[in-house]
């Protein structure tokens, strides 16, 4: 009986000790980092539009063609852009329809990477860091009001499209950005709509380890959309 009790106690101690660590294939067991805590997260549909005049070539637009997500970071270690494999935005409505869009770390491609829909290259790219007390802004471009250009809705369907205005910004500079059209990976039934539940997830280098996540409900912007100059979302 005494031996059994001692064995159980040893197992509990070992389990408790192991649970305080993460396993890293290269370095063995490592101590976990502090928890990452987010503050307010907002998802606003159409508060901005591209300075390219083809954004509303279909006419009759009701809001801008840039959906914007703002994530306030309250506490935790610095998010280093080079260590984040991708940022995934996923949304779903009450009817089950939805989709997802992934910003892949620009370090995974190079300046000569071909764009999917345009006869051009991605161009220069850059990453950055953001820490506690800062806000991350994610911009996602769709073609709801666009019939002109290579990604008009009649040609590729209503969707999020590759664009120079696709961007993740820290307020002090870029987190994920390209000088050319950012080749975001989109799949789904439709772009985001009001009332959708939206999740924002940060993944490690291989897109397997979930580092942090937050969520919000999508709302529609008030008033007329603000124009965003393309020069404001360059790496330089």
Residues 130-187: pLDDT tens digits?
A: 999 999 999 999 999 999 999 999 999 999 999 999 999 998 899 999 888 888 889 9
**Owning domain of residue 2:** 1-32
Task: Check whether residue 27 and residue 75 sit in a common domain.
Answer: no
Task: Check whether residue 21 and residue 52 sit in a common domain.
Answer: no
Task: Check whether residue 102 and residue 213 sit in a common domain.
Answer: yes
The three-class DSSP label of residue 18 is helix
Task: Check whether residue 57 and residue 122 sit in a common domain.
Answer: yes
Nearest to 185 by CA among 68, 87, 96: 87
pTM assigned to the model: 0.83
Task: Check whether residue 162 and residue 227 sit in a common domain.
Answer: yes
pLDDT(236) > 80: no
Per the rule left: phi > 0, alpha: psi between -120 and 50, beta: everything else, 42 is beta
Task: Check whether residue 49 and residue 159 sit in a common domain.
Answer: yes
Task: Check whether residue 144 and residue 218 sit in a common domain.
Answer: yes
| 121 burial via Cβ count (<10 Å: 0-12, 13-18, 19+) | middle
Task: Check whether residue 27 and residue 41 sit in a common domain.
Answer: no
Q: Give residue-wise pLDDT tens across range 190-226.
A: 999 999 999 999 999 888 899 999 999 999 999 999 9
Predicted pLDDT at 216: 98
Task: Check whether residue 70 and residue 135 sit in a common domain.
Answer: yes
pLDDT(18) > 80: no
Task: Check whether residue 48 and residue 112 sit in a common domain.
Answer: yes
Task: Check whether residue 28 and residue 44 sit in a common domain.
Answer: no
Predicted pLDDT at 36: 93
Q: Under 8 Å CB-to-CB from 116, ≥6 apart: which residues? A: 162, 183
Could you give the number of structural domains in the chain?
2
- How far apart (Å, rounded) are the C-alpha atoms in residues 63 and 79? 32
Task: Check whether residue 84 and residue 22 sit in a common domain.
Answer: no
């Amino acid at each position: 009986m005494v031996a059994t009790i001692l064995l159980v106690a040893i197992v509990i101690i070992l389990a408790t000790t192991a649970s305080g660590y993460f396993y890293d294939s290269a370095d063995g067991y490592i101590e976990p980092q502090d928890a990452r805590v987010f503050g307010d997260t907002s998802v606003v549909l159409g508060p901005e539009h591209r300075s390219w005049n083809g954004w509303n070539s279909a006419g009759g637009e009701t809001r801008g063609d840039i959906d914007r997500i703002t994530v306030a970071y309250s506490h935790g270690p610095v998010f280093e852009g080079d260590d984040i494999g991708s940022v995934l935005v996923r949304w779903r409505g009450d009817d089950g329809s939805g989709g997802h869009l992934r910003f892949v770390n620009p370090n995974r491609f190079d300046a000569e990477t071909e764009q999917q829909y345009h006869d051009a290259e991605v161009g220069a790219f850059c990453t950055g860091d953001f820490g506690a007390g800062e806000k991350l802004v994610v911009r996602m471009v769709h073609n709801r009001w666009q019939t002109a250009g290579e990604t008009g809705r009649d040609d590729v369907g209503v969707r999020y499209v590759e664009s120079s205005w696709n961007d993740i910004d820290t307020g002090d500079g870029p987190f994920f950005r390209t000088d050319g059209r950012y080749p975001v990976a989109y799949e789904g039934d439709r772009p985001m709509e009001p009332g959708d539940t939206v999740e924002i997830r940060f993944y490690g280098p291989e897109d397997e380890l979930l580092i942090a996540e937050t969520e919000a409900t999508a709302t529609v912007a008030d008033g007329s959309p603000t124009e965003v100059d393309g020069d404001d979302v360059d790496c330089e």
